[in-house]
């Protein structure tokens, strides 16, 4: 099996299992909108149902669930198409795309099951508060961030070498 597919298989299996099991645990053990202090002054575990995009954007719009399901399918299809085109020997691109793909699939499962996404990681510090998110959201964010860094800094390296 090619290395890029091993990367995809490992990341997808581990992170999807972590994402879905953590969401199931929260659903079964924490009432909606209930919060538990995990790290005092920094992290609460809060059960939130997000029907919109990241940070609750478009949560109250008519048809937003269908829109996000369609967007998820498009993202997944694009990543799977592009993944096949990644050259052998690359490490960061398959790693980043695997993170994004896993997050998209994890949240898509929730949208089909619940009509929204289970969020529960609730970071805050003094008056600053970040909207609740989940493992899938973190995977997407980290994948996009690392891919952007690779494009920004990897592109400069390739240009210098060329």
Clarify whether 110 is annotated catalytic: no
46 Cβ contact list (under 8 Å, min separation 6): 30, 33, 34, 35, 36, 119, 120, 122, 132
Rounded to the nearest 5 degrees, what angle is found at the Cα of 56, between the Cα atoms of 113 and 137? Answer: 65
Clarify whether 119 is annotated catalytic: yes
Rounded to the nearest 5 degrees, what angle is found at the Cα of 36, between the Cα atoms of 32 and 40? Answer: 145
Full DSSP string of 3-66: HHHHHHHHHHHHHHHHHHHHHHHHHHHS-TT-EEEEETTTEEEEEEEE-SSGGGTTTTSTTHHH
Catalytic residue among 19, 110, 122, 137: 137
For 95, the enclosing helix (H) or strand (E) is helix 92-114
Catalytic residue among 19, 110, 119, 122: 119
Q: Which residues have a catalytic role annotated?
A: 119, 137
């Amino acid at each position: 099996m090619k290395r890029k597919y091993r990367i995809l298989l490992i990341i997808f299996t581990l992170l999807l299992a972590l994402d879905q099991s953590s969401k199931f645990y929260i659903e079964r053990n924490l009432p909606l909108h209930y919060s538990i202090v995990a790290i005092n002054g920094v992290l609460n575990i809060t059960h939130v149902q997000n029907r919109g995009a990241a940070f609750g954007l478009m949560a109250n719009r008519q048809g937003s669930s269908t829109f996000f399901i369609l967007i998820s399918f498009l993202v997944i299809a694009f990543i799977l198409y592009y993944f096949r085109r990644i050259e052998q020997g690359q490490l960061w691109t398959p790693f980043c795309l695997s993170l994004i793909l896993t997050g998209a699939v994890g949240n898509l499962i929730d949208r089909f099951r619940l009509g929204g996404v289970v969020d529960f990681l609730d970071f805050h510090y003094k008056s600053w508060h970040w909207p609740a998110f989940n493992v899938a959201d973190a995977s997407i964010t980290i994948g996009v961030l690392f891919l952007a860094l690779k494009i920004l800094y990897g592109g400069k390296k390739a240009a210098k070498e060329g």
